[in-house]
Homo-oligomer: A and B are copies of this chain.
């Protein structure tokens, strides 16, 4: 970000602090980004007690304004643990679950809590980090009723009504794809890497097998091997096919478990390439989701949550 000609007044540092990366954004009073900084000081790289120094080193050049943080920084392995807030959870009232403290240098800090779910029929679920993108979505569309799908290593599906997360579900989709394509016996039948897999026809084929033909995921995956052995399918096409099985398997599982109803409104929150892949897969299942940029929603979510605890002015920018 370039500095504006008339330097805006810094009001808040918004922090996205995950397992492998620390990202900080200096915001003005309206939530606009004045400056950005990032480092590899992810939670997994820090020893207990090292968090304050790592953070202050990154933002040393910025004014001593309050900071709001989301992600693994609030986990048991993080700076300080912000306990999970149980669902249903009104995003506008998440502030009550924030962990607040003042650093040794006198800087006020608030850590956003994760969400937890306990139901008799399942064995529970947890979110930490994605709740902030959901807050950004709710800031942008306060009246949204439907499901926010946040694809990734661990995909999260959050059911939202009137600013409240009523329920959510984790699917280990990205990790399952990595395990099967790189660590399993199927690795001999697929390419090592692929680009824009969802654009290949075999991605569509894999999605159709699970979403349209209703083939259960566990009954579908060995066909990756058979396609290579019996049909000589090319490794790149077979990787796209496996990707289709995994993403299609996620959608089919969401439908089978009653999470995804007919005509449910959907928002996909993620990178552009994940957004495209999921939009392609959802179209085969007859859904027309809107894809939103996950990076932008993190900032908007942190600003939204900061307003609820007085770290930013309530009034949104004009």
User: Would you call A89 an interface residue if the criterion is a C-beta within 8 Å of the partner chain's C-beta atoms?
Assistant: no
Residues of chain B contacted by A125 (CB below 8 angstroms): 222-223, 226
Which listed residue (B183, B215, B249) contacts A218, Cβ 8 A? B249
Closest chain B residue to A223, Cβ basis: B123
Q: Are A124 and B223 in contact (CB under 8 A)?
A: yes
User: Would you call A219 an interface residue if the criterion is a C-beta within 8 Å of the partner chain's C-beta atoms?
Assistant: yes
Count residues on chain A whose CB falls below 8 Å from chain B CBs. 49
Residues of chain B contacted by A62 (CB below 8 angstroms): none
Q: Are B218 and A122 in contact (CB under 8 A)?
A: no
Give A229 to B222 CA distance when docked, in angstroms: 32
Give A126 to B189 CA distance when docked, in angstroms: 14
User: Would you call A166 an interface residue if the criterion is a C-beta within 8 Å of the partner chain's C-beta atoms?
Assistant: no
* B-contact 0/1 string along A210-245, CB 8 Å cutoff: 000111111101110111011100000000000000
Residues of chain B contacted by A21 (CB below 8 angstroms): none
Interface pick from A27-35, A44-52, A170-178, A287-295: A170-178
Q: Are B214 and A256 in contact (CB under 8 A)?
A: yes
Closest chain B residue to A252, Cβ basis: B216
| Min CB–CB distance A197 → chain B (angstroms) | 17
* Of A122, A125, A169, A218, most B-chain CB atoms within 10 Å: A218
Closest chain B residue to A229, Cβ basis: B126
Give A226 to B215 CA distance when docked, in angstroms: 28
User: Would you call A57 an interface residue if the criterion is a C-beta within 8 Å of the partner chain's C-beta atoms?
Assistant: no
Closest chain B residue to A75, Cβ basis: B229
Q: Are A179 and B173 in contact (CB under 8 A)?
A: no
- Name A residues whose Cβ lies closer than 8 Å to a Cβ of B: 84, 116, 118, 121-126, 153-154, 169-173, 175-176, 179-180, 183-186, 209, 213-219, 221-223, 225-227, 229-231, 249-250, 252-254, 256-257, 259
The 5 closest A-B pairs by CB, nearest first: A216-B253, A123-B223, A124-B226, A170-B222, A218-B253
Given contacts A170-B222, A179-B179, A219-B253, 14 further A-B contacts (CB under 8 A): A123-B226, A124-B223, A124-B226, A124-B229, A126-B229, A126-B230, A154-B185, A179-B184, A216-B217, A216-B252, A217-B253, A218-B250, A219-B256, A219-B257
